[in-house]
Amino acid sequence: MTTRPLFQLFGILIAGACLLTATGCGSGRAAIQAAQEKEANELASTGGRVSSAEGLRLGHACCNLRYNGDWISDMSSGELPFIPAGSEILVRRLEGNVAHIVVDNKRYRLGHDYGYREEKTAEWVDKLVVLNDPSPRLARYPASIRAAIEAGKITRGMNREQVIMALGYPSTNETPKLEAPVWKYYWNRYAFMVHWSAGRVSKIEGNPDIVKLVQPEAPAPEPKAKPATRGSKTTTKSGTK
C-alpha cells in the first residue's frame, strides 16, 4: 500500500491539468495545495460520509473485499482475490447503486447488486469504507484468528466482527439482520451457512468440500518420535535384540 494520501494524488492531477491548459491556476505548488485544501475541506464538511453531500469518503476497508476484475459485489464469493482489511480507500463518487473507489492507485467499483432494497447504497458503502482503521484490532487477535482472517477464512469460535473481517458482510437480501442466528455466504458459487451461538461461530454448514475450503488448513501432524537405538540394536523393555 502507498503511504501517500489518495486525495494528494488527486490534487497533483488537478494541478497538472491546470498548468497544461494555462487557466491561471498559478504555480504548480500553489495549484496542488489549493486542490488538496479543497478536497480536504469537502471531506471535512461531510464528516467523511458517503451518505452526506457529495459522496466523498476517505477511510479504510472494514474487511477483506473480494473483487472480480474491478467489481466488488455485495454478494461476493469467498474464493475470489480480495483487498485486505485496513487498506486505505478513497470513495470518489456515488452513481445509483455503484460507488467508484480508488485503492492503491487502482480503480474499483462497489456494486450494491442484491441488498439495495434492504438498505441504501450510501449506508452500505459507509459499512465497507470505515473511518477508523481496523488493522490495530486485527493485530490484537490471537495468532490463529489473525492468520485465518489474513487468509480470508473463518473457523469455529470466531465472533461476528472477526467473521466480517474475513469474509465481508453477508448480503442483506439474504441476511437482513446481523443478529440472525444464521448467516449465508458463498464459495465457488456454493452457499454455506455460518451458525451462531452465544456470539461465536458454532457450526459451518454446507457442501463438505466447500466447508473444508472455508476453514484454515489444519496444521500438519508432528512426526512420530523414532524409538531409541544403540548402533544397529533397538533397546526394548526386555533388553536388546
- Interval 92-125: pLDDT, tens: 999 999 999 999 999 999 999 999 999 999 999 9
**Does residue 83 fall inside a structural domain?**
no
**Does residue 139 fall inside a structural domain?**
yes
How many Å apart are CA 162 and CA 150, to the nearest integer? 11
| Region for 155 from its dihedrals, namely left if φ exceeds 0, alpha if ψ lies in -120 to 50, beta otherwise | beta
Domain of 18? 1-45
**Does residue 194 fall inside a structural domain?**
yes
Q: Output the CA–CA distances (angstroms, integers) from residue 115 to 2, 18, 119, in the order listed.
A: 32, 41, 6
**Does residue 122 fall inside a structural domain?**
no
**Does residue 206 fall inside a structural domain?**
yes
pLDDT value of position 82: 99
**Does residue 94 fall inside a structural domain?**
no
Domain count, the chain: 2
Measured CA angle at 136 (ends 129, 192), to 5 deg: 60
CB 206 within 8 A of CB 193: yes
Average model confidence (pLDDT) across the chain: 82
- Least confident piece of the model among 40-44, 101-105, 128-132: 40-44
Residue 99's DSSP bridge partners are 94, 110
Percent of the chain with pLDDT over 70: 68
Angle (deg, nearest 10), helices 143-150 and 160-167: 30
**Does residue 223 fall inside a structural domain?**
no
Name the residue with higher pLDDT: 181 or 28: 181
The helix (run of H) or strand (run of E) holding residue 201 is strand 200-206
How many Å apart are CA 35 and CA 42, to the nearest integer? 11
**Does residue 20 fall inside a structural domain?**
yes
Residue labelled with grid coordinates 481496523: 134
